[in-house]
Chains A and B, each alone.
Chain A
């Protein structure tokens, strides 16, 4: 077998189809993220713990304070989409960190000198991160019943799709910072500073309708607002919200509720624009 596979005259491998080659490289990058994820069980468990604690301790505690008309599980239902996003947040952002880490550890060079486009590498990386993030969010999603959300297949499919999109949005935000960053520590500092306001000003923990006008204005330009809102609409289609509660007010543009499909489209557009920007920056570095 050695005799046939190691010929005396080397010839560069024949040029395969351009698209097929890019596809295979992209899948490889994606798979590598999966392998890293699956080999890091501890990290997986720890990053799941935080959103679950958040939902079932903070959520239950706070639900007493928000007890307006309706049942006390209203706040839990309100909080649920936000907690899905929070569960996806850590793994989504760790993709950015892994880009920086690949640069530091050297593996990035192995990918950069390969005959593939850098955008392929970046997209593979982001989709890998989004998949991992959605899996983590999916575990929280499976516990929906505990909050009083009924198990309905259609709603879960919708929520899962929206979760993937939200994960992707957070992943590309991490990536666009990562391609310009040389040190893992710098990356974490920048991301912490960026994500805190994004999370708090998304209507994730308290409704936009309860915010002062200046704060509500910021939420309008936050992509996470739309991701959370779309998920909340999906939940509400199967949950009877009390009539007078401000908790479940939709996001509004000048008094008009933003339709859920538009919210989804906005998040998708955000992902596309940021990935393009990150690819451009990535192609210029090194």
Chain B
């Protein structure tokens, strides 16, 4: 589907500053992690460090290897090669400590629908052997955090998808993990509920200081994170803060509507050395710093300017740049596990 040249050109881009040196071990450290299923490689060599306290997004289309990576990080699957450390504990040699230090929200629900919300949390407390003292308060606080205090005695079976997801987040935090993994936490939710989940996640970061590692194929969600790794076909193709990644694209998009677009375009070419594209709805130019261009253009063009719109590069542009594809195209295709 794409030229070999383009594929060969894909390399992890070192955009953005490396995570700050910390006295504590990083929340996640992956080195050369590979996972193959019967000869097919789902994950093809991932090196990744996530600092404590960060909110980190794994952005990639369906079948990219996000869930497979999460499964290895949480000790449910063993890597075929490479090593993983969670908060300094190796997933192979110290799975118990690893499990103790992380909370999980899987892509599919893992609640018991025949139990009440509170019972689900109590059972979680038993599984993690949380001290009985203060448990009632913790349950109450976690239910309050995700706005489910009033439904504590309802069977989970009667919950909507969004409520179930919020309860799972509350449960994942019950044992105060240093690190919370969320695999596509908002998949299948309506936009309003998605926004709600994000509000709760922000609240969690503020109140619990938990490192959050999430996977998503929604660009607007990745945008809200401190750092992003773009994963495609089992490899990380770019990594950095949203701004740093966008800076790789380099240019803003400036759209102009003028009295005479052809004349304005000619002037932009002659006086500013730009490459404007003229269409029915106006002129588009790409420049490194769009905001600076605006006053210059208004002063320097002899044509009346009606409207100027400057857009920073979006993550769509970033994704397209690094994978050669639009992430939205993969929503229905791919055919892999979603």
Interface residues of A (CB under 8 A from B): 1-2, 4-6, 8-13, 15-16, 20-21, 24-25, 27-28, 32, 35-36, 39, 105-116, 286
B126 adjacent to A106 (CB under 8 Å):
no
> B209 in the interface, Cβ–Cβ < 8 Å?
yes
B124 adjacent to A8 (CB under 8 Å):
no
Q: Contacts of A36 on B, CB cut-off 8 Å?
A: 114
Interface string of B224-247 (1 = CB under 8 A from A): 000000000000000000000000
B127 adjacent to A106 (CB under 8 Å):
no
B209 adjacent to A8 (CB under 8 Å):
yes
Q: Contacts of B108 on A, CB cut-off 8 Å?
A: 106
Kindly state the separation between the CA atoms of A25 and B145 in the bound complex, as whole angstroms.
Answer: 26
Kindly state the separation between the CA atoms of A42 and B187 in the bound complex, as whole angstroms.
Answer: 36
Kindly state the separation between the CA atoms of A20 and B210 in the bound complex, as whole angstroms.
Answer: 27
Q: A12-B177, A113-B76 are in contact. Are A6 and B129 (CB under 8 A)?
A: no
B178 adjacent to A113 (CB under 8 Å):
no
B144 adjacent to A2 (CB under 8 Å):
yes
Closest chain-A Cβ to B191's Cβ sits at a distance in Å of 24
Kindly state the separation between the CA atoms of A35 and B155 in the bound complex, as whole angstroms.
Answer: 12
Q: Which of B4-12, B33-41, B93-101, B290-298 is the interface stretch?
A: B93-101
Q: Contacts of A116 on B, CB cut-off 8 Å?
A: 127
B100 adjacent to A15 (CB under 8 Å):
yes
Kindly state the separation between the CA atoms of A260 and B141 in the bound complex, as whole angstroms.
Answer: 56
B137 adjacent to A4 (CB under 8 Å):
yes
A12 adjacent to B129 (CB under 8 Å):
no
A5 adjacent to B138 (CB under 8 Å):
yes
Q: Contacts of B273 on A, CB cut-off 8 Å?
A: none
B74 adjacent to A113 (CB under 8 Å):
yes
Kindly state the separation between the CA atoms of A105 and B113 in the bound complex, as whole angstroms.
Answer: 9
Question: In the complex, what residue of chain A is closest to B208 when comparing beta carbons?
Answer: A10
Kindly state the separation between the CA atoms of A29 and B131 in the bound complex, as whole angstroms.
Answer: 18
> B158 in the interface, Cβ–Cβ < 8 Å?
no
Interface string of B87-129 (1 = CB under 8 A from A): 1000000001101110010101111111100010001101111
Chain B residues 134 to 184 lying within 8 A of chain A, measured CB to CB, are 134, 137-138, 140-141, 144-145, 171, 175-178
Closest chain-A Cβ to B255's Cβ sits at a distance in Å of 45
Q: A20-B129, A32-B112, A112-B76 are in contact. Are A12 and B101 (CB under 8 A)?
A: yes
Of the residues A2, A25, A110, A112, contact of B129 by C-beta under 8 Å = A25
Kindly state the separation between the CA atoms of A14 and B176 in the bound complex, as whole angstroms.
Answer: 10
A1 adjacent to B119 (CB under 8 Å):
no
> B22 in the interface, Cβ–Cβ < 8 Å?
no
> B130 in the interface, Cβ–Cβ < 8 Å?
yes
Kindly state the separation between the CA atoms of A113 and B96 in the bound complex, as whole angstroms.
Answer: 9
Q: Contacts of B80 on A, CB cut-off 8 Å?
A: none
Closest chain-B Cβ to A79's Cβ sits at a distance in Å of 35
Given contacts A6-B207, A15-B97, 12 further A-B contacts (CB under 8 A): A2-B137, A9-B209, A10-B208, A13-B100, A13-B131, A25-B127, A27-B126, A107-B112, A110-B127, A110-B171, A113-B76, A114-B124
Q: Contacts of A5 on B, CB cut-off 8 Å?
A: 134, 137-138, 140-141
Q: List 9 A-B contacts (CB under 8 A).
A: A6-B145, A10-B210, A12-B176, A16-B129, A32-B123, A106-B109, A109-B106, A112-B76, A115-B100
Q: Is the interface of A mostly helix, strand, loop or mixed?
A: helix
Interface string of B18-47 (1 = CB under 8 A from A): 000000000000000000000000000000
Kindly state the separation between the CA atoms of A113 and B131 in the bound complex, as whole angstroms.
Answer: 19
A28 adjacent to B137 (CB under 8 Å):
no
A106 adjacent to B119 (CB under 8 Å):
no
Of the residues A1, A8, A9, A114, contact of B128 by C-beta under 8 Å = A114
Q: Contacts of A2 on B, CB cut-off 8 Å?
A: 137, 140-141, 144
Q: A13-B131, A24-B126 are in contact. Are A6 and B208 (CB under 8 A)?
A: yes
Closest chain-A Cβ to B93's Cβ sits at a distance in Å of 14
A28 adjacent to B123 (CB under 8 Å):
yes
> B75 in the interface, Cβ–Cβ < 8 Å?
yes
> B77 in the interface, Cβ–Cβ < 8 Å?
yes
B129 adjacent to A113 (CB under 8 Å):
no
Q: Contacts of B178 on A, CB cut-off 8 Å?
A: 10-12
Of the residues A11, A35, A108, A111, contact of B127 by C-beta under 8 Å = A111
Q: A24-B129, A110-B124 are in contact. Are A1 and B140 (CB under 8 A)?
A: yes
B77 adjacent to A35 (CB under 8 Å):
no
Question: Which 8 residue pairs are nearest across A and B when measured between Cβ atoms?
Answer: A28-B126, A114-B127, A21-B129, A106-B110, A5-B137, A115-B99, A110-B110, A16-B129
Kindly state the separation between the CA atoms of A116 and B145 in the bound complex, as whole angstroms.
Answer: 27
Question: In the complex, what residue of chain B is closest to A107 when comparing beta carbons?
Answer: B112
Q: Contacts of A8 on B, CB cut-off 8 Å?
A: 207-209
Kindly state the separation between the CA atoms of A113 and B100 in the bound complex, as whole angstroms.
Answer: 9
Q: Contacts of B112 on A, CB cut-off 8 Å?
A: 32, 105, 107, 110
Closest chain-B Cβ to A4's Cβ sits at a distance in Å of 7
Of the residues B119, B131, B138, B175, contact of A35 by C-beta under 8 Å = B119
A109 adjacent to B110 (CB under 8 Å):
yes
Q: Contacts of B175 on A, CB cut-off 8 Å?
A: 12-13
Kindly state the separation between the CA atoms of A113 and B106 in the bound complex, as whole angstroms.
Answer: 11
Q: Contacts of A39 on B, CB cut-off 8 Å?
A: 114
Question: In the complex, what residue of chain B is closest to A117 when comparing beta carbons?
Answer: B96
Kindly state the separation between the CA atoms of A112 and B109 in the bound complex, as whole angstroms.
Answer: 14
Q: A5-B141, A10-B208, A115-B100 are in contact. Are A25 and B126 (CB under 8 A)?
A: yes
Closest chain-B Cβ to A10's Cβ sits at a distance in Å of 4
Closest chain-A Cβ to B98's Cβ sits at a distance in Å of 8
